[in-house]
Chain A
Amino acid sequence: MKIGTAKHSYQADEALLTTRPQRLWMGLFALGLCIAPFMLDNYWLYLACLVAINVASATGLNILTGYTGLVSLGQAAFMAVGAYTVGWMQLRLGTPFLLNIVAGGIVAAAVGLLVGLPSLRVKGLYLAIATIAASIILHFVFVNWQSVTNGNSGLTLTPATFLGTPLTDYKQLYFVFVPITALMVLGAANLFRTRVGRAFIAIRDRDISAEVLGISLLRYKLTSFAISSFYAGVAGGMWAYFFRVVTPESFPFVYSIFFLAAIIVGGMGTILGAILGAVFMTLVPELLRFGIDWLTPVLPNAAAMLSPVRTIVFGLLIVGFLIFEPKGLAEIVQRTRRYFHLWPFKK
């Protein structure tokens, strides 16, 4: 049991960060995020931007699947909706960057509401299949709605302009993406301090008693879908400005599975889980590639021989997590924290 954590107000007791070490670590982390772009080379900045995008989308999926218990395999399709919206607005209307991103989120949320309708009747695997069906329909729309999506050749974007500067290199994009993602994560954390977030968890845990408490399943399931796809849409918008080409193949179905795997590996139903999961899923394949690069001097043929092994190792890592740490990376962090609550007095 931890002592010395007494609070004088309920407000302090319900803050997001309640202890001094927590605040300290968070401060250090924020500082690290600020100075990182000056220390990293272009390749790592590229990865950092990609991580920011994936964290935003995974956080959205976590609200829907981790917290509300509605399994969705449509996250990539919602991202595509956001990306196409941003691309179309950028090319046809020339509206400013931030407006486009928000619009991307809103259009994706509207589509998410529609896709979420079956969730009122079906759950679990059945809902997952329904969202897959929705992704396929959306893909069809992207390919065939020539006038807006430009079919298979897709949209090619000009660089985003923010405060008069075109965002062309990764460092500039980093300084825009990371704050957007941070705001979105903060929003998600806030959500679960209020009645809306509690209603989501109630629906996940026991939907019948949620109804007795006055929680409208219709309203909250759809709200959850809308928020989740809003997050995906914003992430997709960032994606569009990042790669600057949006085609129907930019957001393959595998990408949806990527996000589901990310929240499972990270820890479903925790804010930290979505972040850790997205970081893990984005960076680990890269780290494994570095491992192979280091082996090259010793084993001249390492790249050719070990590339398939890399995929296998990545797969094994995920399976390992499911078996040995079913609550995900977030649980490891919690356990470490608990250990240090008593350290060094506990044997």
Chain B
Amino acid sequence: MTGALDSGATGAARLEVEDLSLSFGGLKALRGVSFSAEPGSITALIGPNGAGKTSMFNCISGFYKPQKGSVRFDGRDVTRMHPPERAALGFARTFQNIALFRGMTVLDNIKLGRHAHMKTGLLQALAYWGPAQREEMELRAEVERRIIDFLEIDHIRNMPVAALSYGLQKRVELARALAMRPRILLLDEPVAGMNREETEDMARFILDVKEEWGTTILMVEHDMGMVMDISDHVVVLNFGEVIARGLPHEVQADPHVTEAYLGSGDPAALMARLKGETGTTGNSGAPTDDRREDVA
């Protein structure tokens, strides 16, 4: 790699989330969540809809400011940092609903990933002079060699993003995240809405990233097959709390997880929990079900 990282450090980072709580008004999205993502491993964050996975992601990437708790990046507290500062540290993320810049080509989208690590100033840019040109050329060479080849998107590099299929757009988003020189990669539902083949491709690319780049990866995903296949560590959230964690097969066998996804099969227990929920949070969509039963 050319040039030095802004933070002065390279390689995979350890991410620790400690006792994180986030609420929107009366709605408690996260309640004292703690977990960690180990350097160079794939950690999956799973849970039913509304469990707080995306809220968690937004806290980690700096969109939401949690009321309590901390996010630590290699031991450094980043809880109050703005997204651009986190980007300079080595946070990179992809979005659940693709967030590419539709008016630009694939190449420009990927190059944008490097923004925080580049130095060209305004006047140099207007003149496209010495250092500015050199920096652009270094970037282009590196993007071509390390990212475009790696993710097999060389045939579409000059196409506008808006013209690509969904699966390819997701791949370009991963490419852009890789261009950020990530020390931790946050993937928000990397295979949502993909067909089997695209999912397999993406799973392979994620594993390749882990092996060749050695980046720490934290992902939110609903595709259990893929989560169980490629994760090293799984954290299960439900109603804003961690209900289980461990190796994929341990989590799979955990009765709490089965209950969270499928229910316990015991109506009395469900009713008891719903009463508790409405008392403390007034959340969860479950009371709606309750009413529906009344109507029926």
Chain A residues near B (Cβ < 8 Å): 10-11, 13-14, 187-188, 190-191, 193-199, 201-202, 204-206, 208-216, 223, 227, 269
Contact = CB atoms under 8 A, between A and B. Distances in A.
Contacts, number: 104
A196 B103 contact: no
Contact of B99 (A201, A204, A208): A208
Contact of B112 (A187, A191, A193, A202): A202
A205 B84 contact: no
A11 B113 contact: no
A213 B125 contact: no
B95 interface: yes
Most chain A Cβ neighbours within 10 Å, of B85, B115, B141: B115
A206 B180 contact: no
B101 A10 contact: no
Interface of A is mostly: helix
Interface stretch (B27-35, B116-124, B196-204, B255-263): B116-124
B99 A215 contact: no
A213 B103 contact: no
A210 B108 CA distance: 13
Interface residues of B, number: 43
Given A195-B114, A214-B117, 20 more contacts: A10-B140, A190-B127, A191-B126, A193-B128, A193-B136, A194-B128, A195-B111, A195-B120, A196-B120, A198-B104, A199-B115, A202-B101, A205-B101, A205-B104, A210-B112, A212-B91, A212-B93, A212-B99, A214-B88, A223-B122
Interface in B79-118: 82-85, 87-88, 91, 93, 95, 99-104, 108, 111-118
B14 interface: no
B125 A194 contact: yes
Nearest to A190: B128
A198 B85 CA distance: 18
Given A11-B137, A198-B104, A213 B115 contact: yes
A94 B137 CA distance: 44
B87 A213 contact: yes
Contacts of A195: 111-112, 114-115, 118, 120, 125
B132 A194 contact: yes
A319 to B, nearest CB: 25
A201 B116 contact: no
A211 B83 contact: yes
A202 to B, nearest CB: 5
B138 to A, nearest CB: 9
A198 B108 contact: yes
Contacts of B87: 212-214
Nearest to B180: A213
Nearest to A194: B125
Interface in B127-160: 127-128, 132-133, 136-137, 140-141, 144
